[in-house]
Amino acid sequence: MTLLDATALRAVIPEVVGILVRRGADFASAEDAVQCAVLRALDPSRRETVLDIRAWLVTVAWRAFLDQVRSDAARTAREKQLARVPEPGPVPRRDDTLALYFLCAHPLLTSTSAITLTLRAVAGLTTRQIAEAFLVPEATMAQRISRSKQRLVGIPLDEPGDLSRVLRVLYLLFNEGYSGQIDLVAEAIRLTQQLAELTDEPEVHGLLALMILHHARGPARVIDGLLVPLAQQDRSLWDRDAITEGVDILQGALARDRLGQYQAQAAIAALHADAPTVAETDWQQIVEWYDELLAIGDSPIVRLGRALAIGEADGPRAGLVALATVDSRVPRYYAALAYLHEGVGDLDAAATEYEEAARRATTTLEQQHLLRQAYRISRGRGIDRAGQGLWN
């Protein structure tokens, strides 16, 4: 007998939703029914023990689905539903979970809807947990979820999906990183790990490596509420085991010889993670990986990263030349410009640009970091004024 616990339950949720859909439930009702069963399972007053969690969840969710159908006023619709129930038999488990990833990343959904639905249907989080993670009321989140599911009415679970969309959803989820009761970064890694078990596609493994490598540096990134740039991070705080794991996964993916953007980004992250100090970083190779990224898809964000890498590999003057081809509206453009100007000794420009970068920052952490840079440079030059208006 096993006590129903959240972790074990969540591992089987996508599969169970898939099973209900195969038995004839539509996706929205199947997902609702499974949520209903999960809420019952997690009810502390019940503390149910079961022989097989998956079988239990299928049974309880299917009953919840039938109750829902029975209470439906449209009697004929209900009979049609029930008539479609296939004979009991073995269910292809892995395919169903993968199909659910695809459905939740369907092109009809916005990326926000896709993230939300993935968290509910694939990760098995409750509406309340998702609402808390995104800092919105539960009622608002419930409406978002039901609208998303409404958009998918009539889409069969078997429709061939686009893996790159799934990866983008997981990548965006990883980037949400809100701190709340639910760690979205950990969720993104778990979901990508599960996806990597379902497919050999090297980009899935590339994305998983990228997430693990970034997450490994997390403890050094913010100290005492202050952002610590890569160059100044205490590298002994990096999670060495995670870095080894990330590098192994990446090497496995690269060996397949089908490069993609996530593998290239992971390669850059791995080069940072491998370097004992910032000075010993192989910047030349990082520039080469940025060239690969540009060849895969040109974007101002990639160009910005490349310009900074060139600034380290060939000096800040070369970095400024590379930055000249970047659209100034890209996030962190002014921070990069300030950093490179400081590198060539143009401190007046650097101080002004750090302040401009702070004005454009979208997070308080970055804003404070950039204001401190502006202040540091101005103070060094005897001008004790930078950022005063924003500090006070």
CB closer to other proteins out of 185 and 374: 185
CB of 143 to other proteins, least distance (A): 4
Residues that bind other proteins (CB under 8 A): 110, 112, 134-137, 139-141, 143-144, 147, 174-179, 185, 210, 214, 221-222, 227, 230, 265, 268-269, 301-302, 305, 361-367
CB closer to other proteins out of 56 and 174: 174
Instruction: Provide the token pair at 219.
Output: 């403890």
Burial class of residue 114 (count of CB atoms within 10 Å of its CB; 0-12, 13-18, 19+): buried
Cα dihedral 310→316→322→325 (10° resolution):
140
Q: Are 149 and 183 in contact (CB under 8 A)?
A: no
CB closer to other proteins out of 244 and 364: 364
CB of 304 to other proteins, least distance (A): 8
CB closer to other proteins out of 76 and 363: 363
CB of 94 to other proteins, least distance (A): 29
Taking alpha carbons only, the member of 169, 266, 130 closest to residue 208 is: 266
CB closer to other proteins out of 188 and 377: 188
CB of 308 to other proteins, least distance (A): 9
Q: Are 199 and 98 in contact (CB under 8 A)?
A: yes
- Rounded CA-CA distance 260/253 in Å is 10
SS3 51: coil
Place of tokens 């640009």: 353
Strand (E) or helix (H) holding 223: strand 222-223
Instruction: Provide the token pair at 54.
Output: 């998956």
CB closer to other proteins out of 142 and 349: 142
CB of 127 to other proteins, least distance (A): 11
CB of 257 to other proteins, least distance (A): 23
Instruction: Provide the token pair at 202.
Output: 């090297």
